[in-house]
Structure 1
């Protein structure tokens, strides 16, 4: 995972607002946008979602230190789509148990309504023994309710809105990975490429003092594209599993 290319024709920018021209090029993309950035900001993830909705092909490489993973905006959620799968047999079992629970409750209330007046109107407290039946039904219903709660009707799978990879950061606990994809690469329509220090974040694009180069040199862009393909398909670095991430991002009610 490395390239060297000499004599590339490029523009150089150093300073604040290094991402201004880059964002303009990204928003004007006609075919595809490819990005490598270890950090992302919520509103810029939103930009990628909008591009995807326009039919622009997006490919993203980032790290598990995404800024809004647990943040307020939660745009990362929109990159991972939850699909709920139903176990029809379990659903039928649950529905039957719910029906039984409702019937037991109805009978318990009915018995209580009948037994109490009989006890006091006839002044015969032998009817109180009938409440043993009510208690027994209560215990049976309690068991049924617990079984309803344990019945797993739904399981969940997740898919990506568009292709992206999230590599495990060396900073993550229990990670044996020593390589951090710290590069910042932006490719637009396979014709324009940006390299530099700016992350795909609000501070990187607008506020920080950053360095970046922009090139439309066909040979240089082709080399950069090949390097991004190498990172995406052949890095052999540990990745976050999308099924695990989805389970962390979304609630997963059993039934």
Structure 2
């Protein structure tokens, strides 16, 4: 894993706002954009969604250290789409129990309302034993309600808005022995321009931090970089988050 290429022609920039030219080139993309960045910011995820909606092919490699995952504005949810499936047989059973619960509630209330005046008007205290039936019906209904809460009628699957990989960071568990952190920051536009350096695809990386980046349109160098990024996208041995797992972490999943 990895490449070495010598004598590439490139532009070098060191300082703040290192991403100004990068963002301009990304917005001017005609065919595709490929990004490797371990950290992402919500507003820059919006840039990728905008490109996708324009018909530009977007590919992304990131890690489970995504800033957006922990932030308030979760645009990562727009990259992972939740699809809800209904278990029809479970739903029919759920609806039947729900109707039975409503019927029992009606009977309980009606019986209680009928017993109270009968006891006093007819002066028949023995009718108070009728409340035993009310209590029993209440317990039965309470059991049915508890079963309703546990009944699972919805199942969830997830799909990606565009191709991306979320690699597992070292120390994140999940049974992985992965010790390699994808720390590279690589940006490829139309397979013709490549950026590399220290800036993450974050607001601070692009604008505020003191960063280092190179920009090259050297055909041979770009071709090598494209090959490496494509290899990471299609055939990496590194542990990665499954989209089904990742989606379940981002979304709530009501069962009924």
* TM-score bracket for the superposition, by shorter chain length: over 0.9
Map 1:149-160; keep pairs closer than 5 Å. 149-160=149-160
- Tell me, yes or no, if structure 1 residue 115 matches structure 2 residue 115: yes
Q: Deviations over 1:73-132 (max 9, x none)?
A: 111111111111100000000000010000011011111111111100011111112111
Q: Deviations over 1:23-49 (max 9, x none)?
A: 000011111100001111111111111
Q: Report how far residue 171 of structure 1 moved.
A: 3.7
Q: Report how far residue 235 of structure 1 moved.
A: 2.0
Q: Distance in 2 between matches of 1:175 and 1:42?
A: 28
Map 1:206-217; keep pairs closer than 5 Å. 206-217=207-218
Map 1:27-46; keep pairs closer than 5 Å. 27-46=27-46
Q: Distance in 2 between matches of 1:109 and 1:181?
A: 63
| 8 Å contact kept, 1:112–1:131 | yes
Match in the other structure for 1:243: 244
TM-score (norm 1): 0.97
Q: Report how far residue 172 of structure 1 moved.
A: 2.1
Q: Report how far residue 6 of structure 1 moved.
A: 1.9
Q: Distance in 1 between matches of 2:199 and 2:79?
A: 22
Q: Distance in 2 between matches of 1:31 and 1:138?
A: 65
Map 1:116-131; keep pairs closer than 5 Å. 116-131=116-131
Q: Distance in 2 between matches of 1:41 and 1:47?
A: 10
Q: Report how far residue 67 of structure 1 moved.
A: 0.9
Question: Which ranges of structure 1 fall in alignment gaps of 5 or more residues?
Answer: none
- Describe the SS at the equivalent of 1:68: helix
Q: Distance in 1 between matches of 2:184 and 2:62?
A: 10
Match in the other structure for 1:4: 4
Match in the other structure for 1:69: 69
| 8 Å contact kept, 1:168–1:240 | yes
TM-score (norm 2): 0.96
Match in the other structure for 2:23: 23
Question: Which ranges of structure 2 fall in alignment gaps of 5 or more residues?
Answer: none
Q: Report how far residue 54 of structure 1 moved.
A: 1.1
Match in the other structure for 2:141: 141
Q: Report how far residue 175 of structure 1 moved.
A: 4.4
Q: Report how far residue 234 of structure 1 moved.
A: 2.1
- Describe the SS at the equivalent of 2:184: coil
